[in-house]
Amino acid sequence: MFRMHSIFCFLFFLVSFGATGGVEPARYADSIDMVLRKTTGKKQQVEMMLAATRQLSSTDPDKALIFATRALSASSGTDYAVLRLQAMIEVGKIQILKTQFTAGMAMVLKAKELAGRLENKKELGEAYLIIGMIRIFQGDYTDSYESYFTALRLFEGIGDQEGIIKALNGIGNICYYQQNINKACIYYVKALRIARETHDTVQIANVVNNVGLVMVARGQTDSAIACYREAIEIHTRLGLKIRLATNYMNLGVAYMNEKKYDDFLANFNKAISISASVNSRFNLAMCNLGLSDYYVEIRDPANKVKYAMLALNDGQVYKMREVVLQAATVLHDHYLATGKIDSAYKYAMLRNAAKDSIDIEHSTARLTLLEMEYTYDKKLREDTLKQQRKDFITIILIILVISGLITVTLFLSRQIVKTKNIRLEKQRLSDEVEFKNKELTLNVMNLLKKNEFLVEHTNRLIEIQQKASEAGIQSDILQLIKSLQRSSGDDIWDEFELRFKQVHSGFYDRLLVKFPDLSPNELKLCALLKLNLSTKEICELTGQRPASLDVARSRLRKKLGILTSQTNLVSFLSQI
C-alpha cells in the first residue's frame, strides 16, 4: 500500500484549528484596521483583533499572526485576563500553522498556566489540544495521547461539543499514524456523529477528510474520494485555504493508489499552489513527500531523491520527526539499491533515530492505559451523576412524602375541627330546639291557662245571662259570650302555629310530602303530638273530649301507615 497514507491524517489535524469562515484577506484586514482606528475602547479593540485573527488564520496566517500579536500586546497589563488568554491561544495556533513549533509551544504553555489560574476550562482544553498536536510533530505520541485525553475530559466537563469533536479526532489521528486503523475509525465515527448532530459544518469536513483516510487504508477508494469531495465542497464554500490544500493532497493520494497519475498531479498541484499562497511550510513539506513517492512509482530516481531531500530538510528544520522518518526511509532505500552504502547508512541512522524517538510501542501501550483510565473516570462520573440523580429523586420523594403527610395531617386536622364544629353546631341547634320546645311548651301552658280563664269567665257570663231579666241585656251578653268563645279558639291556635313554625320550620311541608291526605285538624294534632303534649293538655287546647281525641289519634295512625301498636306515634312524628 502507498506509504504516504500515514502522513495525511496528521496533516489535516494541524489545520483543524483554522478559522470558521473565509474572506478576501487583504480587503478584510484593511477594513478591520479602518474600524480599529475609529474604536476608542481597548476591550472592543482587542475583541475585534481576535475576531480578525480567527477569520484570517486559514486564509492568511501572516496577517492573522499580526492581529493576534497586537491583541496580545493590547491586552497585556489590563484587567482583560480572559482576552489575553484567548490572544495567547490564537498566537500559539498560528505559530504552529507557520511551523514555528518552539515559539508556539512556549506561548501555549504560558496560556495553559494562565488558563489554570483563571480556571478557564475551555481555553485550558484548547491549550492541551495544541500541545497534543505539537507532540505529534515531535513524534511524542505518548505525551500527545495524554494531552488529548486531558482535553477530552475538560471539554466533556463543560459540555463543549466542538472541543469534544477535536479531541476525539486528534486521538483518532494518532491511532492512524500508528497504523491502528480500526481504533482510529472508532474515534472518527464518534467525532463525526457529534459533528453531524450539532450541525458543525467545519468539524464535519475535518472528520470526513480523516474518514476518507480510513477508507483508503481499507481499499475503499471510491468511498474515500466521496469523503474528500464533501470536505472540499465545504472548505471551498467557506474559503478555508489551508484545509482545502490538505483535502487536495489526500485526494491526490487516493488517485495515486488507483494509478491515476494525472489526477494525482492535478490535485497535488492545487495543494502546492494553495499552500504556497498562504506560506504553509508544513503543507509544502507534505507535498514534497507525496511527490517523492510519486516518482518512486514512476521510477524517476532523480526527482525521487530531489523531493525526498526537500522534505527531509523541512523535517529537520522544523523538527517534524514523522516527515524525517518518511523522507529518510526513501533516501535510505534509494542509496541502498544503488550500492552507495555510506549514504544508505547515513540515512538509516536518521531513519532509526526518528523511529526510536517516535516510540510507537510505548505510546500504543500508553493509549491502552489512557483509554482504561478514561473509561473508568467516565463511568465513575456517570455513576456519580446517577447517584446524585437518585439522591435528588430520593430527597424529592422524601419532601413529597413529608409534604403529603403535612397536607394529610392538616386536612385531617381541619376535618376534625370541622367535624367538631359541626357536632357543636348540631348540639347548639339541638339545644336551641330543645330550648324553643320548652319555651313553646310553656307558651302552650300559658295558652291553656288563658283558655281556662276565658272559659271560666264565659261560664260566669252564661250564668249572668240566665239571671238577666231584660231581653236586650240577655241578647248582648249572649253575643259577648259567642265572641269570646270564637276569639279564644282562633287566637290561641294562631299564636301556637306561629311559634311552632318558628321552632320546627318545614315540618308541615315534610309531613304533607309523605302523607298528602292529612286534613288541617290532623296536621294540628301532629304538631301537638310532636311537642309530646299529654291527652289532657291537647283536649284543653283544642276543646275536644278525651274520647274524641282517642278516635282522632286512631285515624291519624292509619293515615300515617302505623299498623302495629309497638310503634309510638309521638316517636314516629319526632323523626319527621
pLDDT digits (tens, 9 = 90+) for 443-474: 666 666 676 666 666 777 777 767 666 666 76
Average pLDDT on 173-189 reads 91
Residue 573 lies in a domain: yes
Torsion of CA 283, 284, 290, 295, to 10 degrees: 170
* CATH of residue 40: 1.25.40.10
pLDDT digits (tens, 9 = 90+) for 390-442: 888 888 888 888 988 888 888 888 888 888 888 888 887 777 766 776 666 66
Average pLDDT on 257-279 reads 92
**pLDDT(208) > 90:** yes
Residue 62 lies in a domain: yes
Name, of 112-121, 435-444, 485-494, 555-564, the range with top average pLDDT. 112-121
- Of 237, 253, 278, which residue constitutes the final position of a domain? 237
Q: What's the pLDDT band for 499 if we cut at 50, 70, 90?
A: confident
Q: Provide the whole-model pTM.
A: 0.59
* CATH of residue 521: 1.10.10.10
For the ranges 18-32, 231-245, 377-391, which has the lowest average pLDDT? Answer: 18-32
- Write the CB contacts of 70 (distance below 8 Å, at least 6 apart in sequence): 49
- Write the CB contacts of 280 (distance below 8 Å, at least 6 apart in sequence): 61, 97, 98, 242, 245
More confident residue, 31 or 54: 54
- Of 237, 271, 296, which residue constitutes the final position of a domain? 237
Average pLDDT on 242-253 reads 93
For the ranges 173-182, 355-364, 383-392, 413-422, which has the lowest average pLDDT? Answer: 355-364
Residue 151 lies in a domain: yes
The percent of the chain in helix, strand and coil, each rounded to the nearest 5, is 85, 0, 15
pLDDT digits (tens, 9 = 90+) for 45-89: 888 899 989 888 877 888 889 999 999 998 887 678 999 999 999
- DSSP string for 465-486: HHH--SHHHHHHHHHHHHHHHH
- Of 237, 254, 272, which residue constitutes the final position of a domain? 237
- DSSP string for 31-96: HHHHHHHH---HHHHHHHHHHHHHHHTTT-HHHHHHHHHHHHHHHTTSS-HHHHHHHHHHHHHHHH
pLDDT digits (tens, 9 = 90+) for 87-134: 999 999 998 888 788 888 899 999 999 999 999 999 999 999 999 988
Q: Return the pLDDT at 38.
A: 73
Q: 526 lies in which domain range?
A: 507-576
Residue 302 lies in a domain: no
**pLDDT(157) > 90:** yes
Q: Return the pLDDT at 253.
A: 93
Average pLDDT on 247-260 reads 94
Phi, psi of 218 (to 5 degrees): -90, 5
Residue 310 lies in a domain: no
Q: How far is residue 576 from each of residues 510, 515, 519, 556, 560, measured CA to CA in Å?
A: 7, 11, 17, 15, 12
**pLDDT(557) > 60:** yes
d(CA 496, CA 541): 10
Cell reading at 394: 430520593
Q: Return the pLDDT at 364.
A: 59
Overall number of domains in the chain: 2
Mean model confidence pLDDT for the chain: 83
Residue 211 lies in a domain: yes
Contact 56, 25 (CB under 8 A): yes
- Whole-number percent of the chain with pLDDT over 70: 82
pLDDT digits (tens, 9 = 90+) for 273-308: 998 888 888 888 889 999 999 999 999 999 999 999
**pLDDT(33) > 90:** no
Residue with cell 485525553: 149
More confident residue, 320 or 514: 514
Contact 75, 46 (CB under 8 A): yes
Residue 297 lies in a domain: no
Residue 271 lies in a domain: no
Q: Return the pLDDT at 19.
A: 45
